[in-house]
Amino acid sequence: MRLVTWNINSIRLRIDHLRRLVSFMSPDLICLQEIKVEDALFPLAECRELGYPHVAFHGMKGYNGVAILSRLPIAEIRTPSWCGRDDRRHLVAVLEDGVQVHSLYVPAGGDIPDPEANDKFAHKLEFVREVAAWFKGSVRPADKVIVAGDFNIAPLETDVWSHKQLLRVVSHTPAEVDLLNALQASVPFVDAVRHFVPPSERLFTWWSYRSPDWRKNDRGRRLDHVWVTPALAAGLRAALVAREVRSWVQPSDHVPVMVDVEL
């Protein structure tokens, strides 16, 4: 099974990008984040025309929203909410063979890495805490679970262009990294991409729109992840960060991440 996760930054604006992605990667499952569309206006027909008869979506107008496009039958759809908010950041598709696929969009957290001074950062920290507690109580290592999405945290020093300069920048602060590590350890999950790409190697999935030449500066961060439970880890076959997608016309600031896993 080939899975791709992508913060598409508006599915309606970038439906042609999605079509292009499908044509050259041909994933069986696509987890999308930041679809930015309310459910009534979701482009369901277009997604089915791309070859995905099974589509789950949990959207809202203007921001956030998650979706899962599948060639495989979906037996159940769940839409967990966290921190007492219905902000459409988590979608679960249970496939007919029992595999759980989670499309997860962690809050960005604003600009100030202080939960006392920044409500957005406080929300982000609490969101990750709640999700970690839920996984710890609900998922066992023997379960077949994939969690994919924009986690908005770059945990490793090589997941950012400058570890030293970004220690006080939201997405790479110790508080966030510690919580993401706790979330990963809650089952524990296996980082499917780092399973193939050693931690010593720099790897990014996001580049700011503010950069005049993102390729030359290459000041990226690895914010997008795919994790699997130990039950699926032995089936991991390949991983790829589709860096070239960032060069497309009117791109998302994130690029797709692909993982192949034998179920």
Taking only the tens place, the pLDDT of each residue in 37-76 is: 999 999 999 999 999 999 999 999 999 999 999 999 999 9
Do 112 and 160 form a contact (C-beta atoms < 8 A)?
Answer: no
pLDDT score at 211: 84
Do 103 and 27 form a contact (C-beta atoms < 8 A)?
Answer: no
What is the per-residue pLDDT across 210-228, written as a single tens digit (0 to 9) for each?
Answer: 988 999 999 999 999 999 9
The model's pTM is 0.98
Omega before 188 cis (within 30°)? Answer: yes
Length of the chain counted residue by residue: 263
Q: Running DSSP on this structure, what letter comes out for residue 124?
A: H
Whether 168 shows a pLDDT value over 90: the answer reads yes
Give the torsion through C-alpha atoms of 4, 215, 177, 260, to 10 deg.
20
User: Could you tell me which residues come within 8 angstroms of residue 120 by beta carbon, excluding any fewer than 6 positions away?
Assistant: 107, 108, 109, 110
Q: What angle do CA 137, 139, 145 make, to 5 degrees?
A: 155
pLDDT score at 191: 98
Domain containing 21 equals 2-261
- Give the total number of structural domains in the chain: 1
Average pLDDT in the chain: 98
Q: Count Cα neighbours of 170 within 13 Å in the Cβ-side half-sphere.
A: 20
pLDDT score at 212: 80
| Amino acid found at 225 | H
For 37, the 3-state DSSP assignment is coil
Q: Report which secondary-structure segment, H or E, holds 213.
A: none
Enumerate the β-bridge partners of residue 225: 149
Question: Which is nearest to 259 in space by CA: 154, 183, 147?
Answer: 147
% pLDDT > 70, the chain: 100
Look up residue 42 and give its two tokens: 């979701």
Q: What value does the mean pLDDT take over residues 24-41?
A: 98
pLDDT score at 204: 98
224: domain CATH number is: 3.60.10.10
Residue bearing tokens 């960060």: 241
Look up residue 215 and give its two tokens: 């390729």
